[in-house]
């Protein structure tokens, strides 16, 4: 686990901060916030020196998926950047996914809980691996510090990642007391959390989440889902796997367990730094799920799916005609 958590002092005047950009919307909002602070000088990516690196790139699930980056590659790329600019402090965007979805986890999880990411979910394992790389770097010198933000599911109008949409699509599918609680963080609150951690010189792990969480049955009500016949989890995951393989959604491999067990987190440590969430779980969820998962599919992909559907329809029609023809032949031969 990353080093002892401490609040530290407010950033010194003229502190040079380099932002490794990730999700476009988040990067823009974090950059705007830090630009507005007199004690911070946000430098360009080609800067010769920086005191602090704010790494939003590693926590960008969609970006990692597009680059098909491994945990080793991401960790090495970050360390290369640190060495290039001579930074002594790193602020990394991770995720509360690293805690893992375990039935025996307490509610809510705190920063003192051990990271146990789901073994079959690559993204969570990537983040845990990069956190470990930073921890080793941090322990290499007393002058170094690392702050790791572990936000819960982050959403916003036009700013929800495919991962966030997948988790929303998988929520509210179980019945009664089995339905797990969930949290949804607004992207503006995440941007302000990054600002608070940078300015406070915080050192250690910090969770980022709204106050409280949404009970599972409330999630289902917000989705407007009707009662459905419960099916075994293994069957549901097989269906999701087929949907992901042929339709690219909504649940990627390894994410299923995160929709069946609670992994909500406490935000007390971050609030102690002066941060306050401004958008509730419910408001964020409604705003972030205004469009179904398939609305984000590219036009090219939609065309491919339409053609595939047409091909399946033609094949079914041909099959039906062949079957009718065979039955007719059998009837004629019997006469």
Q: Which residue has the tokens 């002092």?
A: 9
Q: Could you tell me the CATH number of the domain that includes residue 44? A: 3.40.50.720
In a domain, 135, yes or no: yes
Q: What is the pLDDT of residue 23?
A: 79
Regarding whether 105 and 205 lie in a shared domain, the answer is yes
Q: Taking 80 as the threshold, does the pLDDT of residue 305 lie above it?
A: no
Average pLDDT over residues 91-103: 94
Do 75 and 198 lie in a common domain?
A: yes
Same domain, 282 and 303: no
Residues 190 and 333 in one domain: no
Examine the pLDDT at 34 and tell me if it is beyond 90.
yes
- pTM passes above 0.75: yes
Distance from chain centroid for Cα 222: 21
- Do 210 and 305 share a structural domain? no
Mean pLDDT of 188-208: 96
Q: Is residue 170 part of a domain?
A: no
Gyration radius (Cα) of the chain, Å: 24
Q: Does some domain include residue 105?
A: yes
The tokens for 92 are: 């990394």
Long-range own/partner contacts, residues 12-15 (CB < 8 A, 24 or more apart): 12/39, 13/38, 13/39, 14/39, 14/41, 15/39, 15/40, 15/41, 15/51, 15/52
Say whether both 66 and 42 belong to one domain.
yes
Residues 77, 98 within the same domain: yes
Are 101 and 211 in a shared domain? yes
CB of 196 within 8 A of CB of 285? no
pLDDT at 73: 84
Q: What are 6's two structure tokens?
A: 């401490």
Mean pLDDT calculated for residue range 131-160? 93
Question: How far, in Å, CA of 118 to CA of 185, rounded?
Answer: 21
Of 60 and 91, the one with more pLDDT: 91
C-alpha 89/C-alpha 54 separation (Å) is 9
pLDDT digits (tens, 9 = 90+) for 61-76: 887 777 777 767 888 9
Domain that holds residue 325: 299-335
Q: Are 305 and 281 contained in the same domain?
A: no
241 within a domain of the structure (yes/no)? no
Confidence at residue 268, expressed as pLDDT on a 0 to 100 scale? 97
pLDDT digits (tens, 9 = 90+) for 260-277: 888 999 999 999 999 999
Residue 146, H or E segment? strand 145-151
pLDDT band at residue 313, thresholds of 50, 70 and 90? low
Q: What is the predicted pLDDT for the residue at 232? A: 60
Angle at 55 between CA 11 and CA 52, to 5 degrees: 30
92 phi/psi in degrees, rounded to 5: -110, 135
The structural domain count of the chain equals 2
């Amino acid at each position: 686990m990353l080093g002892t958590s401490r609040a530290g002092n407010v950033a010194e005047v003229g502190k040079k901060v380099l932002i490794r950009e990730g999700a476009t919307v988040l990067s823009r909002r974090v950059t705007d916030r830090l630009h507005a602070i007199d004690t911070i000088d946000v430098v360009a990516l080609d800067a010769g020196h920086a005191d602090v690196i704010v790494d939003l790139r590693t926590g960008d699930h969609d970006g990692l998926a597009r680059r098909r980056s491994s945990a080793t590659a991401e960790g090495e790329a970050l360390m290369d950047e640190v060495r290039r600019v001579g930074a002594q402090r790193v602020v990394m965007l991770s995720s509360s996914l690293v805690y893992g979805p375990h039935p025996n986890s307490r509610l809510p999880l705190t920063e003192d809980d051990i990271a146990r990411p789901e073994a079959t979910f690559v993204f969570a394992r990537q983040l845990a691996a990069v956190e470990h790389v930073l921890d080793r770097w941090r322990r290499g010198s007393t002058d170094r510090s690392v702050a790791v933000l572990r936000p819960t599911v982050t959403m916003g109008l036009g700013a929800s990642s495919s991962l966030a949409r997948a988790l929303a699509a998988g929520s509210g599918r179980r019945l009664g007391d089995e339905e797990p609680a969930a949290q949804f963080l607004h992207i503006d609150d995440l941007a302000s959390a990054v600002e608070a951690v940078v300015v406070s010189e915080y050192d250690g792990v910090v969770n980022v989440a709204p106050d409280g969480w949404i009970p599972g049955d409330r999630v289902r009500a917000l989705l407007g889902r009707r009662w459905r016949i419960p099916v075994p989890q293994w069957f549901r995951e097989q269906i999701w796997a087929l949907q992901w393989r042929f339709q690219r959604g909504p649940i990627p491999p390894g994410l299923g367990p995160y929709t069946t067990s609670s992994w909500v987190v406490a935000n007390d440590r971050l609030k102690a730094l002066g941060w306050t969430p401004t958008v509730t779980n419910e408001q964020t969820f409604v705003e972030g799920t205004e469009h179904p998962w398939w609305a984000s599919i590219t036009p090219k992909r939609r065309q491919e799916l339409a053609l595939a559907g047409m091909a399946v329809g033609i094949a079914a029609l041909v099959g039906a005609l062949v079957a009718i023809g065979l039955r007719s032949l059998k009837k004629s031969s019997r006469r």
